Chains A and B, each alone.
Chain A
Amino acid sequence: MTTHEKLDVRGQLCPIPVIRTQNKVKTLASGDTLEIICTDPGALNDIPAWCEVHGHRLIDAKQAHNEIVITIEVVR
């Protein structure tokens, strides 16, 4: 059974959202999903790039007003 977790890194500037994502993903299993809520526009590039080099799947990345929500699926 997979889980869906949320990570709130609003107000944090990159690379902290990436580091927090990386640390959270370590605790998750393959197939689990993680929703990252952040405010640094840099995360729109950095978190997908981090997913790509680690082989995780980017499900969605959207920006509304000053908030960004990125959803990824853990792939082991």
Chain B
Amino acid sequence: MTQPRKAVALISGGLDSMLAARVIQNQGIHVEGLNFYTGFCVEGHTHAIRAKDQRAQKRNNALWAAKQLGIKLHIIDVVEPYKDVLLNPKHGYGANMNPCLDCKGLMVGQAMAWMQENEFDFIITGEVIGQRPMSQGREKMPVVSRESGAGELLLRPLCAQLLPPTLPEKNGWVDRDKLLAFNGRSRKPQIALAAEFGFDDYAQPAGGCCFLTDERYSAKLKDLWQGRGKRDYELDDIMLLKVGRHIRPRPHFKLIIGREEGENNFLEGYRRQFTHLRPISHEGPLVLVDGETTPEELHLAAQVTARFSQGRDASEVTIAIHERQGNSYQLSVTPLEANSIPADWYI
């Protein structure tokens, strides 16, 4: 008896990738999933930080999708290779800092390497022609196939009938007639197919599953690069962009201010890496200082910290300051008044 063919599916956790995987499973193909962690994934992190978000459901949608499909899911850390995609996108950015087409190329390329290492036969994605303007236009489909190195081993089951036959189709591993011809932005065909497959609970991410599609997050990222005078980042940098209130009083430093207990707890983990401030005479936030400051600027940072403490209306608030170099001391300051914080300090 011959072994069934094996396909590796890119599983985002959204409906389309689930449907694509099930379409191929229904042809007797063994499917396993890959999910990529870039550091910018909306999945995960932030919901674990803020207390109000901890009350929300905390499932990982890709794992949830894999459970529904009954397939293994391998989560791949692509934080390092993703840097080049974000910093030097060959095909540019979308509406914000989202380099979707290059990102897709990276992921399919990684899937190709995984496929070869694990002796799978081809790759599937949930892409639909015209579903997303930047990365899923008809003319973009061959770009991803070519630049990822997957070529004819990349099959898009949901729109395959609108594309030239791939190797799995030419070789008879899958029946092209049982693939689909979805096209455009309408979700109705997917919703109908989900009902046919019995999928009644699936993620519907608005605007995608990546922080880089978010306007405010993108602004913070650009500010980070501008403040440091170079376009680069570490994982900690991009994690911190998701947390707290970011205020830049001067071009060379900014303050990251915890908005509630969960964020303060998260920021605690970064105390050794940053000069940090915390009110001790009143309840208040933990504040990290990102950048180098003069004593006068640290005094200003203390006044801002006091502003966001319970002592905002007090005549004086005592702030404990712990410098990154190891010095610790206290300052008693008058909290800044609300109208003393210009709107353009807020990032």
Contact = CB atoms under 8 A, between A and B. Distances in A.
Interface stretch (A1-9, A29-37, A41-49): A41-49
B44 A53 contact: no
Contacts of A18: 60, 63, 75
B261 to A, nearest CB: 11
B67 interface: yes
A16 B66 CA distance: 18
B48 A53 contact: no
A45 B58 contact: yes
Contact of B37 (A11, A16, A45): A16
Given A16-B37, A22-B74, A41 B54 contact: yes
Q: Interface on chain B toward A: helix, strand, loop, or mixed SS?
A: mixed
Interface residues of B, number: 28
A13 B47 CA distance: 9
A15 B60 contact: yes
A45 to B, nearest CB: 5
Contacts of B72: 53-54
A14 interface: yes
Interface string B54-68: 100011100110110
B38 to A, nearest CB: 11
A66 B48 CA distance: 12
Contacts of A41: 48, 54, 58
Contact of B60 (A11, A46, A52): A46
A45 B47 CA distance: 13
Q: Which of A13, A16, A53 has the most CB of B within 10 A?
A: A53
B41 interface: yes
A25 to B, nearest CB: 11
Contact of A19 (B47, B66, B71, B75): B75
Nearest to B57: A45
A22 B75 contact: yes
Given A15-B41, A16-B37, A46 B59 contact: yes
Interface string B66-103: 11001111111100000000000000000000000000
A40 B58 CA distance: 10
Contacts of B48: 13-14, 40-42
A46 B77 CA distance: 16
Q: Which of B45, B60, B64, B71 has the most CB of A within 10 A?
A: B60
Contact of A50 (B43, B70, B71, B73): B73
Contacts of A45: 58-60
B179 interface: no
A46 B44 CA distance: 9
B289 to A, nearest CB: 20
B58 A15 contact: no
Interface in B222-246: 239
A46 to B, nearest CB: 5
Interface of B: 35, 37, 41, 43-45, 47-49, 54, 58-60, 63-64, 66-67, 70-77, 239, 265, 269
28 contacts: A13-B44, A13-B48, A13-B239, A14-B45, A15-B35, A15-B37, A15-B41, A15-B43, A15-B75, A16-B77, A18-B60, A18-B75, A22-B74, A40-B45, A41-B48, A42-B47, A42-B48, A42-B60, A44-B58, A45-B59, A46-B58, A46-B60, A49-B63, A49-B64, A49-B67, A50-B75, A52-B67, A53-B67
Given A44-B58, A49-B64, A53-B72, 15 more contacts: A13-B49, A13-B239, A14-B45, A14-B60, A15-B35, A15-B43, A42-B44, A42-B48, A42-B58, A45-B58, A46-B60, A49-B59, A50-B75, A52-B67, A53-B71
